[in-house]
Amino acid sequence: MVLNIVVTVLSVRRGDTIIAIIFAAAAVLVLFQLIRLASRGDDDDDHAD
């Protein structure tokens, strides 16, 4: 998670806005999945949807 933010910041500073957008979108998707899993209250490690 922190790595995604660092890579996004470095990409923006380098001018690679497309890469920054891709990494930001990936970070958002990961957060969304974590929120969904947390809201469902599943304690098992079965990630097969």
Within 10 Å of residue 25's Cβ, how many Cβ atoms? 12
- Domain borders along the chain are 2-39
List per-residue pLDDT tens for the chain, 49 residues long.
Answer: 677 777 777 766 766 777 778 888 899 999 999 999 888 875 556 666 5
Within 10 Å of residue 46's Cβ, how many Cβ atoms? 6
